[in-house]
Structure 1
Amino acid sequence: MTVRGTTVDIPTADGIADAYLAHPDDGRPHPAVILYMDAFGLRPHLMAKADRLAEAGYTVLVPNAYYRNGRAPIIDYPQPIDPDNDPTLIERLGPLLAALTPEVTERDADAYLRWLAESPLVQDGPVGLTGYCRGAVHALRTAATHPDRVAAVAGFHGGNLASEAPDSPHLGAHRITAELYFGHADQDPSLPPEQIARLAEALTEAGVRYEAEVYAGALHGYTQGDTTRYDEAADERHWGALLALLKRTLPS
């Protein structure tokens, strides 16, 4: 299937968010998917992910969550991105991530969902979400704050999904109506076993339909092909799980 990718501007309560939009180039509307970026931001690797989803029949929006700090790319990275050998990288990203509070995430989600609902490229009905790293947090929060709009959520190598913080995203489980899938990284200090268990307990108690798998040997960031933590086998496993979830939940 031929895919078209463009940059779009989305009005939000806080300004204009630039985003990448990928969709089948067939002139027809398709189910929408929001792809929430990882900490490294909107860049060609995530655009390629969106293109692959569009090839499967979806209209995919990848917002630049850092738009308040400028248009993407906010930071120029060496290739491949190697967070283990660049101690300044996390320092530079820290303030950007800290600014993405639950309130900011909800306001932005309002804007993204409204824009998609008005787009002629999007089929009427609920949307799907997929998030990577910090993006898994945004996806989980969006499902809780917009249960009437979200049918599916996939999160991969997400961190701090079920911490002891008073605003931890797992605390919104009782509001979620979507079906969820999580592909946790086995070697991930940002989501230790106790958080995996806490997330599972919250989802189970809330009656949420979900599946959570731990990818043995996978590092945090295993899907990100432009980083040194990429794991090809784990990445292909993630694609199988993601596409199966979307096929079940987003009728075309």
Structure 2
Amino acid sequence: MTAVQGTTVDIPTEDGVADAYLVHPGDERPRPAVLFFQDAFGLRPHLRSMADRLAEAGYTVLLPNVFYRHGRVPVVELPEFIDPAEDPDIWRRIGPVMQSLTPDLAMRDAGAWLRFLADSPPAADGPVAVTGYCMGARLALLTAGTHPQRVAAVAGFHGGQLATENPDSPHLVAEHITAEAYFGHADRDSSLPPEQIRRLEDALTAAGVRHRCEVYPGARHGYTQADTPAYDREADERHWAALLDLLERTL
């Protein structure tokens, strides 16, 4: 297993300074870069461990605190094991923070994350991959459509609200995407009903995007998050296999 080096870095943005986690293999070789977008629960130990696993596979990974406008990590105090059933107040604390990150603000920030990677010695020159979880899948999709010249691969897992009827729905950027895309949908996910799955698939197909969209049977929204009750080991390992295969092909 490759030894990795992880550290907290500060990234200047148009609206301030964001803290982020940067991790890469421990040697001095620049590696292909992966931009990793968090879920609503934020940058925390479990997500750092996921970023570490990507770095162990040979990538330089940037995991930004997309809620930096509300403070440094932890933006919202959370227990080690996050169970909304045991903490009904959790969405009252997180909801306003999540909703304040509009698509416009998120994409303004995406430019900062990509500029940081372009200037980062551990990151190899060339295009990057983007992956995201839950709300992060929306951010990944939007980034691939907003910065097509920089993104060679985009992945999203148990994403919600990916293809709504709203004028700013993420699937509407499909026509601009040049990356190869993979989406692993949760079967039991009220935030991405079947009509949205079809709408996303249709948009990617119409735009000529190389893609694969799969529904993981029986998986719940959040199936990759081992620090929540939604975790599904089988679905999680399927996600890792799909993600690493995509990265190997495209980077």
2:5 aligned with 1:11: no
1:90-109 correspondence runs (5 A): 90-109=91-110
Q: Which runs of 5+ in 2 are unaligned?
A: none
Kindly state the Cα deviation for residue 80 of structure 1 after the two structures are TM-superposed. 1.5
Find the aligned partners of 1:210 and 1:236 in 2 and give their Cα distance: 20
Q: TM-score, normalised by structure 1?
A: 0.98
1:173-212 correspondence runs (5 A): 173-212=174-213
1:66: which partner in 2?
67
Find the aligned partners of 1:10 and 1:198 in 2 and give their Cα distance: 35
Measured against aligned partners, the alpha-carbon deviations of 1:21-51 in whole angstroms (never above 9, x if no partner) come to: 1100101100000110000000000000010
| Contact 1:117–1:124 (Cα < 8 Å) also in 2 | yes
RMSD of aligned residue pairs (Cα, Å): 0.7
Kindly state the Cα deviation for residue 64 of structure 1 after the two structures are TM-superposed. 0.2
1:122: which partner in 2?
123
1:38: which partner in 2?
39
Q: Name the aligned partner's letter for residue 137 of structure 1.
A: R
For residue 83 of structure 1, give the secondary structure of its aligned residue in structure 2: coil
2:135: which partner in 1?
134
Find the aligned partners of 1:197 and 1:143 in 2 and give their Cα distance: 19
Find the aligned partners of 1:84 and 1:174 in 2 and give their Cα distance: 40
Kindly state the Cα deviation for residue 79 of structure 1 after the two structures are TM-superposed. 3.1
Find the aligned partners of 1:97 and 1:208 in 2 and give their Cα distance: 29
Find the aligned partners of 2:76 and 2:18 in 1 and give their Cα distance: 16
Kindly state the Cα deviation for residue 139 of structure 1 after the two structures are TM-superposed. 0.3
Kindly state the Cα deviation for residue 90 of structure 1 after the two structures are TM-superposed. 1.2
Find the aligned partners of 1:202 and 1:86 in 2 and give their Cα distance: 38
2:88 aligned with 1:87: yes
1:222: which partner in 2?
223
1:248: which partner in 2?
249
1:110: which partner in 2?
111
Find the aligned partners of 1:86 and 1:184 in 2 and give their Cα distance: 26
Kindly tell me the number of residue pairs found equivalent between the two proteins: 250
Find the aligned partners of 1:107 and 1:122 in 2 and give their Cα distance: 21
1:233: which partner in 2?
234
| Contact 1:36–1:62 (Cα < 8 Å) also in 2 | yes
Q: Which runs of 5+ in 1 are unaligned?
A: none
1:146: which partner in 2?
147
Kindly state the Cα deviation for residue 98 of structure 1 after the two structures are TM-superposed. 1.0
Measured against aligned partners, the alpha-carbon deviations of 1:154-204 in whole angstroms (never above 9, x if no partner) come to: 100000000111100001100000000000000000000000000001111
| Contact 1:79–1:227 (Cα < 8 Å) also in 2 | no
| Contact 1:32–1:59 (Cα < 8 Å) also in 2 | yes
Q: TM-score, normalised by structure 2?
A: 0.98
For residue 29 of structure 1, give the secondary structure of its aligned residue in structure 2: coil
Percent of aligned pairs sharing the same letter? 67
Q: Name the aligned partner's letter for residue 155 of structure 1.
A: G
